[in-house]
Amino acid sequence: MTPDRFSALWRSLEPIGREPGTGGYVRYSWSRADLATREWFVEEALDRDLDVETDGNGNLWAWWGSSDAGDAVVTGSHLDSVPHGGGYDGPLGVVSGLLAIDLLRERGHGEPLRPIAVAVFTEEEGGRFGVPCLGSRLLTGALDPAKARRLRDRDGVSLAEAMEAAGASSDNLGADPSRLARIGTFVELHVEQGRALADLDRPVGVASAIWPHGRWRFTLTGEGNHAGTTAMADRHDPMLTFAYLVLAANKEARLADALATVGRVAVKPGATNAIAASVTAWLDARAPDQSIVDALVDAVVRRVAERAARDGTSVEWTAESLSPVVDFDGGLRDRLAALLGDAPVLPTGAGHDAGVLAAHVPTAMLFVRNPTGVSHAPAEWASDADCAAGVRALADVLAELAYP
Ligand code: GLV
Ligand code: MN
Ligand code: MN
Ligand code: MN
């Protein structure tokens, strides 16, 4: 697999959903861009004589070989993006899966003894409906389909409505135990979301664990009023409570050696000359240990509630998603690290479908070096040469697992 071979397939996907100017991506699930990436995937899979299916949760599967023995080796990732995100988070794993199959065939491998599939999971980022790993959570039964159907995007469109508008049905959302039972091993290749591999001067690594993390939605309610006629002392301004929330989250995270981010906010009515009536803010919190995450969120909630009492506002909060710690299968991790020439083994604070699947099947992840270390932003990057090295590593892994 040469860098040019990687580049040729990569460049065919690259323009879809890319914004002119920043080079960032907006590929929300079930949007026009998402449908175009799905179409791209189906065409590429059919070109390779793979059997393509869409499951009831909108996840795509491209199969090489078929069996119901429950021993399939599945790879893949996602094609959706965060708002204005990078191009590699997700798509690199999907493109690499297709190219790894090409490479296995070029190396003379016939139909695998354990079937191989490339999967594309729906809405891994939660960029549209708020719940990350939507497709894999539904597949594994970790998310109630009735609740999922009611999730709403920024414009108030429900998941059920978005699926219908995209020509898909939400009738079959939910746990799919027979499909899950077909998976014997899952391996996700992903761009690294940090600089560890760059610092180690290695192109490919293996994941050890995913930190526990979650998303909490805060609704801060005050009293909308005129910016020019309301005395400062008479205000009930939820923007003040919001500002305090951001500072408290930052401070508590620093104290706890954790990570806390408020990266999304919606202000109503959102006028320069009106005191806000309400603010909705989303807190993302992560740490190596669940007890640290819990203590951090408790502290933020307590401090924000105290502040709200001073501001004359009210606070409600709810957990939108919780992702427990994931320790990837140790035997598989060590086997793959050895196979890949003592590849570095790294933990990550980023969530992945692999983390959801790991509770059900032996699962591993490969990371490809990202020299900028940036992710969820347009500067996320990997060189064609490193991506080609990632494809070779994935092909080695699939060969090891699927031709026992
Ligand atoms: C998804 O990429 C996440 O870690 O939030
Ligand atoms: Mn991501
Ligand atoms: Mn991802
Ligand atoms: Mn992710």
pLDDT of residue 398: 98
Identify the sign of the CA torsion 15, 37, 141, 158. Answer: positive
> Are the C-beta atoms of 127 and 134 separated by less than 8 Å?
no
**CATH code, domain carrying 235:** 3.30.70.360
Q: Are both 193 and 316 inside the same structural domain?
A: no
Q: Are both 242 and 330 inside the same structural domain?
A: no
Ligand 1 pocket test, pick from 80, 136, 283, 376 with the greatest ligand atom count within 8 Å of Cβ, gives: 376
Which residue type occupies 2?
T
Query: Is the shortest distance between the CB of 382 and ligand 1 below 6 Å?
Result: no
Whether the per-residue pLDDT at 345 is higher than 80: the answer is: yes
Identify the sign of the CA torsion 61, 64, 68, 72. Answer: negative
**CATH code, domain carrying 382:** 3.40.630.10
Q: Which atom of ligand 1 is nearest to the CA of 125?
A: 1
What does the pLDDT average to over 305-312? 98
Of 279, 296, 323, which residue constitutes the final position of a domain?
323
The angle subtended at Cα 175 by Cα 34 and Cα 164, nearest 5°, is 40
Reading the block at residue 85, the tokens are 């995100």
Residue 67 binned pLDDT confidence (cut-offs 50, 70, 90):
confident
Residue closest via CA to ligand 1's atom 1 equals 351
pLDDT in tens, 168-220: 999 999 999 999 999 999 999 999 999 999 999 999 999 999 999 999 999 99
Q: 249 C-alpha to center of ligand 3: Å?
A: 24
Whether the per-residue pLDDT at 391 is higher than 80: the answer is: yes
Total count of domains within the chain: 2
Query: Is the shortest distance between the CB of 127 and ligand 1 below 6 Å?
Result: no
Q: How many CB atoms lie within 10 A of CB 165?
A: 11
Those residues whose C-beta lies under 8 Å from the C-beta of residue 257, and which sit 6 or more positions away, are 287, 292
Instruction: Residue 373: name the closest of 342, 349, 343 by CA.
Output: 349
ipTM for the complex shown: 0.90
pLDDT in tens, 72-126: 999 999 999 999 999 999 999 999 999 999 999 999 999 999 999 999 999 999 9
Residue 294 binned pLDDT confidence (cut-offs 50, 70, 90):
very high
pLDDT of residue 376: 98
Of 323, 338, 362, which residue constitutes the final position of a domain?
323
Query: Is the shortest distance between the CB of 132 and ligand 1 below 6 Å?
Result: yes
Q: Are both 232 and 186 inside the same structural domain?
A: no
pLDDT in tens, 140-177: 999 999 999 999 999 999 999 999 999 999 999 999 99
Whether the per-residue pLDDT at 19 is higher than 90: the answer is: yes
pLDDT of residue 308: 98
Q: How many CB atoms lie within 10 A of CB 313?
A: 24
Q: 7 C-alpha to center of ligand 3: Å?
A: 20
Domain that holds residue 370: 3-211+325-402
Of 273, 298, 323, which residue constitutes the final position of a domain?
323
pLDDT of residue 69: 81
